[in-house]
């Protein structure tokens, strides 16, 4: 696999779909690279997937940096993006720059920031310093208490306008890509056509420039997690459980 860079991803817009996977460790990162996936996101979803929390809000910059280092050791070639966790940039632009720099030093090649106009000053400052930014609009998990959960966004005309305006604003601020999460397919397609930067969808239909899924989800490692948008490409919940049962049996009998 050849090294994937930001310019290589950006020229794919409108011509070739971008594949992105969220993972958190060197072992899975090695397999992601082996499969030829374009990009890896070290998401603050690690709070839920790895640590068992109800949401992403307790994750720290140090925790994301730890997992970035692990993923980078497992995969050198996919373009590596790190989430800016809750609390790492809300205080001030200066705080956001400091934490983004820490994630880049850990091995990330871009940082992802949730929000619209409220994060545009930070986006502009980061890109002026040469730090690529992936924006994130629509269902933004760090706003879980405001939304009252993880329900799909953009159902009302007012919300649709807000999400569209947010996408246009973060692009104008200098974002290099946008994650569109949990919004209607028609809205995601409309945003994709209007912006000049790649869009990456999750629960936003197939009209985006690429897709991202958490590796644990796409491998079917949790039989109880079945959102409508998720296609499971394996059933590791059953495979791993049966393997462990077989191991237990061998231990007991030998």
Annotated domain spans of the chain: 6-218
Is the separation of the CB atoms in 82 and 68 below 8 Å? Answer: yes
Band (213; pLDDT cuts 50, 70, 90): very high
| pLDDT of 254 above 90 | no
The pLDDT tens digits of the residues spanning 195-206 come to 999 999 999 999
The pLDDT tens digits of the residues spanning 3-23 come to 999 999 999 999 999 999 999
107: left (phi over 0), alpha (psi -120 to 50) or beta: left
| pLDDT of 162 above 90 | yes
CATH label, 6-218, candidates 3.20.20.60, 3.40.50.1980, 3.30.420.10, 1.10.10.10: 3.20.20.60
| Buried/exposed code over 94-121 (b: 16+ C-beta within 10 A; e: otherwise) | eebbebbebbbebbbbbbbbbbbeebbe
Q: Mean per-residue pLDDT for 179-199?
A: 98
pLDDT of residue 1: 84
Is the separation of the CB atoms in 136 and 122 below 8 Å? Answer: no
Q: Which residues are catalytic?
A: 181
């Amino acid at each position: 696999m050849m090294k994937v860079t930001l310019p290589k991803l950006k020229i794919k817009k409108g011509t070739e779909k971008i594949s992105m996977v969220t993972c958190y460790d060197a072992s899975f990162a090695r397999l992601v690279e082996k499969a030829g996936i374009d990009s890896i996101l070290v998401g603050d979803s690690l709070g839920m997937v790895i640590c068992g929390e109800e949401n992403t809000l307790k994750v720290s910059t140090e925790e994301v940096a730890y997992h970035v280092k692990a993923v980078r050791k497992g995969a050198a070639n996919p373009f590596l993006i790190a989430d800016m966790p809750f609390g790492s940039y809300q205080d001030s632009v200066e705080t956001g720059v400091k934490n983004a720099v820490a994630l880049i030093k850990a091995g990330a090649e871009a940082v992802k920031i949730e929000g619209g106009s409220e994060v545009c000053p930070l986006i502009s400052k980061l890109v002026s310093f040469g730090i690529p930014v992936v924006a994130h609009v629509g269902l933004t998990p760090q706003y879980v208490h405001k939304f009252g959960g993880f329900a799909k966004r953009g159902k009302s005309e007012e919300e649709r306008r807000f999400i569209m305006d947010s996408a246009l604003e973060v692009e104008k601020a200098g974002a290099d890509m946008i994650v569109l999460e949990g919004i209607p397919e028609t809205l995601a397609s409309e945003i994709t056509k209007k912006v000049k930067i790649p869009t990456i969808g999750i629960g936003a239909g197939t009209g985006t420039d690429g897709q991202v899924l958490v590796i644990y989800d796409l491998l079917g490692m949790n039989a109880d997690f079945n959102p409508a948008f998720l296609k499971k490409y394996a059933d590791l919940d059953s495979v791993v459980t049966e393997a462990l049962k077989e191991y237990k049996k061998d231990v007991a009998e030998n």
